[in-house]
Structure formats: C-alpha cells, structure tokens
Amino acid sequence: MTKHIKENDRLRKIVESFPKLTVTVLADLVADEFVFGEISRVSREAPVLILKHHDRKVVPGGGANAIYNLADLGVNVLPVGVVGDDEPGKLLLRAFRHKRIPVSGVFKDKSYTTVTKTRILAGFAHTAGQQVVRLDREPAEGPNSHLRREIVLAAREYGRASDALLVSDYGYGAATPTLLNVIREKRGLEKVPVTLDSRHRMLEFSGVTAATPNESEVEEVLGIRIGNDWERLVAAGDQVAGTMNLESLLITRGKDGMVVFPRRHKPVDIPIYGSDEVTDVTGAGDTVIATFTAALAAGATSEEAAHLANYAGGIVVMKRGTATVTQQELLDALDKAPPAAREH
C-alpha cells in the first residue's frame, strides 16, 4: 500500500508539472470531419441507406490531435506543419487559436490540400451513430521545397526553446526522416528528447529518443506476426529498440494494454486502464504519445511515462470520435487506481 501511495504521489507531481513544460510538435496535420445522419430509408436506386443530414463537425486529427492533447494536458505546445488554404485548414487554425495554441509555425499554402478524413456516421434518433464509410482527401504530393525549408527553420527555433520534440509522421511529408535529420543538423537540439509516432517507417528515423508504435506497426516494419506470444513480442521490441538506438520503446496493444521497453531494463507489461469494452479508438495513439512525451519531458522514467500514457489511453477510448484527455482527468484516474503491471 505504501509503495502504491508513493508511486501515485510521484505520478501526480509529474502531471501537475505539465504547465511548466513546452513541447514542439513536428506533424502531419489532419482534419477529422464527422458527418452525422439519421437513417431515413433504403434507396430505391441501390441497396444503400439514405441519411437525413443531422450534424457536422471538424476536429484536429493526426498530428493535430497530438497537439490538441498536449494543450488539454496543460502543456505549452508549439506546432509546426502545413495546411491548405481551404476550409479544413482554416478550421484547424481556428481550433488551435481557440485553445490559445500559437500558429506561427503552421504554414498555409494554396498549392497544398489539407489532409481531411471524413467519417459518415448513421443512426436513428436518440441513438449513437455508427461509422458506415470514410472518405479521405489527401494532397497530390507533400509540401514543396519552400514549405519544407520553412518547416525546418521553425522546428529548429521552437525546438531549442522546448523540453521535448514530438514527431507525428502520418506519411504526408511534413514530418519525414529527412526533415528531422536536417532540423537536427544545427547545434542546440542535442539534448532535446525526440519522441516518434510514425505510421509506416519508424525504422528510417535516426536520432530518436523514444517511439510509441502499436503492435501491428511493429509487425509491419519487421515483417512478422506476434499474436499472443510474449517471447516473440519481447524479441520484436528489443529488435526495434536496438535498431533505432532508443532510450525507450512503448508498444501499444489495444485491449491488452501496452508494454514499455526501457533501455537496460526488463520490459514492463501494463494492463489496460478501465474497461476493455471500448467506445472508439480513433486518435488513441495521438493521446498516448502526447502523454508519454509530456511525462518524459517532465523527468519521468520510461515506466512512469508509460503508466501515465496507459491511463490517458484508457480514458480516451471511452469517448466518441477524435478526443483528448485533460490534465484533471488524468489526476482523477490516479486517484481511482494505482499503476499496475503483469508478471511474466
């Protein structure tokens, strides 16, 4: 009991220190659009549902969701990325300003299309809508050479004044391995921890302190199948951490929680916080890396940061749509349950 009280006190102090931190986020910015429709009838033209439009909302997604999560945790966040001169881009900038997030590092360009993921949700009156289709709008190519140069300059400037640099790579060109290498060429960023969330190419990045892939991403980059084999999971984690020379690796496993691999220490298997009957996993990975990064920047150990990320992940998957976790919600979770780990 005394051990748990000390652990919780330590975790509380870490969370309470978040407002003293500044984190730069180099990110592919995505607009998550949700269109809600009430099921009216089945079309006579084809066997499809006809929906009566009910509501629409656009919220920060992808790397923009990691930025939003940091802000709601109380962290001072400095985003660096690109949006198009279009409605989704303007709505993202408006959302950032609403949270008082500086936007001087977010570059708007007419030649670029804001990445937009539109989810159509169908339901009856007084019921929660279920996603029936998703439509993605993506730029034909990544940011041009001028935008890439602006991204590098902004990330260098902000990174030097930050406690951590978070890289959120969704494959759209604003957070590539090459850009990170160029950003780190100049002096002043050597001691800034770098955390990485990369959808398909994490092994191509160098100079990274910690990474937070999910299990399927690890399977993809290594070309293996892990399943429920603990030894195979440990071997895969050791391989990724060794190849990337990481200080820590956090592998998320959905309903099975997450496993953290601290350098020179045994992996720690952390069961999911809360119910495994999740509501929506959209954007949960962004919440995890935001919390993990904030904790590391605050001086947490890899294991402490993983426990806090696990609390945050368990909270956010109980919310519908792309959502965030607040600093107070994290503190409340610490009051409800001590951090737990499974023995192997």
Catalytic residue positions, numbered: 286
184 φ/ψ angles, rounded to the nearest 5 degrees: -85, 0
Q: Which amino acid is at 295?
A: A
CA pair distance 255, 234, nearest whole angstrom: 18
Give the residue among 222, 306, 241, 248 at the shortest CA–CA distance from 272: 306
In contact, 236 and 218? CB cutoff 8 Å: yes
| Token pair recorded at residue 105 | 């590092």
Give 60's contacts (C-beta < 8 A, 6+ positions apart): 29, 30, 31, 32, 67, 68, 92, 95, 96, 322
Burial 137-171 (b: 16+ CB within 10 A, else e): eebeebbeeebbebbbebbbbbbeebbbbbbbbbb
Give the Å distances, CA to CA, from 176 to 135, 147, 256: 24, 13, 30
Strand ranges (E), 112-198 = 115-123, 130-137, 164-169, 194-198
Q: Would you state the structure tokens that stand for residue 43, as one six-digit string?
A: 């079309």
HSE-up of 175 (CA within 13 Å, CB side)? Answer: 32
- The SS3 assignment for 288 reads helix
